[in-house]
Every structure is written in structure tokens, then in C-alpha cells.
Structure 1
Amino acid sequence: MSVLLQIVADTTVQAVQTGQDAMAKVSVWGLLGKGGVLMYPLYLLLILAIFMFFERFLAIRKASRIDSNFMHVIRENILSGNVQAARNLARTTDSPVARIIEKGLRRVGKPIDVIEKSMESVGRLELYNMEKNLNILSLIAGIAPMFGFLGTIVGMIQLFFEINSTGNFELSVIAGGIYVKMITSGTGLVIGLIAYIMHNYLATQVDKTANKMEIASTEFIDILQEPTR
């Protein structure tokens, strides 16, 4: 009896080790390599998404940097009647807020509504520059899963064509072919999810910067309506 138990135990251990070895051989890169030709467009979409994310991230972060003392200095110069100094400061400061304020300073002396409209036009241009190319990430988030599904459908057609041609209806052959063809779908969904997260994160940062621009514009209009010293 003990001999039989020992044989069963040895067999179980060997089967577990064999399963572990098989799982170890199935790496992520190995699976991706079985995805077929349509994996290459997915790789390109992933590379493009990563590039666009970092390019826009750096641009938006640069645009969102606003010196906390900037509006204070602008206010002091305007109230003291030194508008030219305020214009020089705004002109030499590289930020969307500074460019909006500089546009308003050029219109000092004209009606408030004229100043507001000129500042709004600059604000829309700055907002457009920040949002530029964000639609590419949105597009990748939409088409990457479609490319994945297309790869799976093409693979399934090939699989069933081979089964019909060879007459081999073994379950292992069918299951093995199906899991390989599902790789493109999984990859496309992952890339689409990554691009979606990237797009929404950057859109949130753009909204935060737009709020800063709006607050600075309102503060500037309030300053113009204060009595000069």
C-alpha cells in the first residue's frame, strides 16, 4: 500500500513540475510573438500613444507653470501707473497666462468688453495649442481594440479553414488555435485602455491650466477697475 502511495505521489509531483515547466515556457513575449502580422500595427499604435503622451505632457506641464508672484507684480505696476513695466514683464514671461495678460495690457484704455474679448481670443488659441494632438490618443483608444478584433477574426477564419481542409477536429488543436488568435484582441484592448487613460489624464491637466488662465484673466479685469494710486 505504501509503495502504491509513493508511486501516486511521485506521479503527482512529476505532473505538477511538468505543468510548471510548461507555464514557465509560455512567456508574455512568446505569446505576443504568436499574434501574427496584425500585431505590428498594434505595436506602432502603442509607440505612437506613448510618444504623444510624453510630448503633450511636457508641453502642458510647461504651460501650467505660473509664477505665484506674477499677478502681484502686474497689479502693483498697473496701480502705480507703470503699464509699460507690466507689459515688459508679461512679454518676457513664457506662459499662456502671461500672453493673455500681455494682450490685455495692449488694450488698456479701451472699454472693458473690448479688453475681455481680445484676451478671450488669445485664451482660445492657447487652449487649442495645449489640446493639439490629444485627438490622436483618443483615436488610438478607439481603433486599437478594432485592430485586435480584426486580427482575431482573420485568425479564426484561417483556423477553421485549416480544420476544414485537414479534417483534424481534435480539441487540443482547436483550443490551441483559438487562444493564439485571441492574443491580438487582448493586446488591442490593453493598448486602447492605456491610450484612454493617457487621454483623460492629459485632458484633466488641460482643464486645470484653463482654470488658471480664467482666474488670472478675471483678476486682471478686476485690477483694471481698481483706482490707480
Structure 2
Amino acid sequence: MKRLFSILAISGMMAFGTVNATTATTSAALTTVASVTQDDPPAEETLGFHQELKKRFIEGGPGFMGIVLLCLILGLAIAIERIIFLNLSTTNTKKLTQDVEDALASGGVEAAKEVCRNTKGPIASIYYQGLDRTDEGLDAAEKAVVAYGGVQMGQLEKNVSWISLFIALAPMLGFMGTVIGMIDAFDKIEAAGDMNPALVAGGIKIALLTTVFGLIVAIILQIFYNYIIAKIDSIVNDMEDASITLMDLLIRQKK
């Protein structure tokens, strides 16, 4: 996970470096064109999406905007790590159950445990724990399945709460930046002694940008969070069904 954080951080710095280089090149090109066509009427400059995003980010101020960006990077890092882990934890439950049933019929408990050892995922681990306690009775096997199922569920939900924290934190930081910007705008009005719209319009616009970026970050992370929760629920349901199926297999094996 630390390696994943490092990769994402480096990628972010490279992306911003690329945007900076592109912006510098674009600015130089525009300056050259402007000097050549000085006598022509100025044309309206159209910025691309990345240039516009960078412009608005800089206008919002490096303080709160940098913190909001950090929430996005950390939230995405955790979300990507969880998605990779959950996809690796997904098991073909029907195939595993059939393999365990065939192994029990042909080679007994040890053969079934070998099948579980060669299969990745929490369901295979739960099967192994239940099969490993069959010598102690069905009650012991059932308790082992339930207990280890709780352990596996905790592994699936690991670090997910941090994503929900960043979802709540990003818009709150944006709102705080807006409030501070509004206070600064009113300070300028008080210092000037009159209500000049041009005096405060820029400050208010900059203050509102922090809220916009905070909401954007929260929306992006919310999409990832909902996907992760849905994936966890799907795996947990498979775990519960597989646990019931395992106990049925063990009961038939005892008979």
C-alpha cells in the first residue's frame, strides 16, 4: 500500500509538471502570435480543459486548494487499493463448492483442504478453517466458520472509513475557504469605505472556487466509495451462502 501511495504521488507530480510545461509552451506561442499580429484585432483566447482547470485551481489559492487536492489523491489511492484487493478476493463460489464436494467424496477432508489451500480469496479461507475443525465436531466447525468470516469481513472493509472521511472533509474545507474568502472581501469593503463591486467581485469568485473544487472531489470519491461498498456486500453475501453450503456438505459427510 505504501508503494501504491508513492506511485500515485509521483504520478500526480508528473501530471502537474506536464501541465506546467504545456501551459508555458502555450503562453510562449500566444506571445509570439500576438507580436506578429499586433495590428490585427485581438481574438478571444479559448483555453482547453486542463488549462482552464489549472487556471481555476491557481485562482482558488494554494492553501485550501492544495489541501482539497491532497484529499483527492489520498482518497483515490485508498479507493484503488481497495478495488484491486476486492477484485483479487472475488472467487467463483460455485466452482469452489463443487471442487470441495468432489474432494470430500473422493479423498476426504484432507483432499478438500488441499483444494482450499490452492484457491485464493476469503471464501476458500473460510472453507479451510471449517474443514480444519471437523475432527472436533460440527459445532466447532461452525464456530470456526463464523469467527473467521468476521475476520475476513474486517479485511474487506479495511481503510474504507478513510474514504468516507475524505468525502466529508473535502467539501467542508471548500466551505471554510469560501467563508474565509468572504471575510477577506468584507474587510476590503471596510477598508475602502464604499461598496465598489469591482473591489470584491474577484475575492468572492476566488472564495467560491474552493467550494466548487471541494464538491467535485467529494463527488468523485463518492462514486468510488459506493462501488467499493457494493463490491464488499456482494462478497459478504457469497461468504454467507458458502458458509451454509459448507455446513451442509459436512453434515452429509458425517452421515
Which residue of structure 1 aligns with residue 247 of structure 2?
Answer: 221
Q: Relative to structure 2, which stretch is displaced further, 79-88 or 35-44? A: 79-88
Which residue of structure 2 aligns with residue 204 of structure 1?
Answer: 230
Deviation at 1:227, TM superposition (A): 5.1
Query: Does residue 53 of structure 2 align to residue 28 of structure 1?
Result: yes
Query: Does residue 202 of structure 2 align to residue 176 of structure 1?
Result: yes
Question: 1:10-46: per-residue Cα shift (whole Å, max 9, x none)?
Answer: xxxxxxx98x826759822211111111111101000
1:61-76 equivalences in 2 (<5 Å): 61-66=87-92, 68-76=94-102
Which residue of structure 1 aligns with residue 164 of structure 2?
Answer: 138
In structure 1, runs of 5+ residues without a counterpart are 1-16
Question: 1:50-70: per-residue Cα shift (whole Å, max 9, x none)?
Answer: 111110000011011336422
SS in 2 for 1:225: helix
Higher relative CO (Cα under 8 Å, sequence separation at least 6) belongs to 1
Q: TM-score, normalised by structure 1?
A: 0.84
Q: TM-score, normalised by structure 2?
A: 0.76
Which residue of structure 1 aligns with residue 120 of structure 2?
Answer: 94
Which residue of structure 2 aligns with residue 49 of structure 1?
Answer: 75
- C-alpha contact (below 8 Å) 1:81/1:228 kept by paired residues: no
Q: Which runs of 4+ in 1 moved over 4 A?
A: 22-26
Deviation at 1:168, TM superposition (A): 5.2
Distance 1:21 1:205 in 2: 48
| Aligned alpha-carbon RMSD (Å) | 2.3
- C-alpha contact (below 8 Å) 1:119/1:217 kept by paired residues: yes
With over 3 angstroms needed to count, the CA separation of the structure-2 counterparts of 1:24 and 1:91, relative to structure 1, is closer
Distance 1:181 1:227 in 2: 69
Q: Which of residues 136, 142, 145 is equivalent to 1:110?
A: 136
In structure 2, runs of 5+ residues without a counterpart are 1-40
SS in 2 for 1:109: helix
Distance 2:69 2:107 in 1: 59
Distance 2:91 2:54 in 1: 40
Which residue of structure 2 aligns with residue 122 of structure 1?
Answer: 148
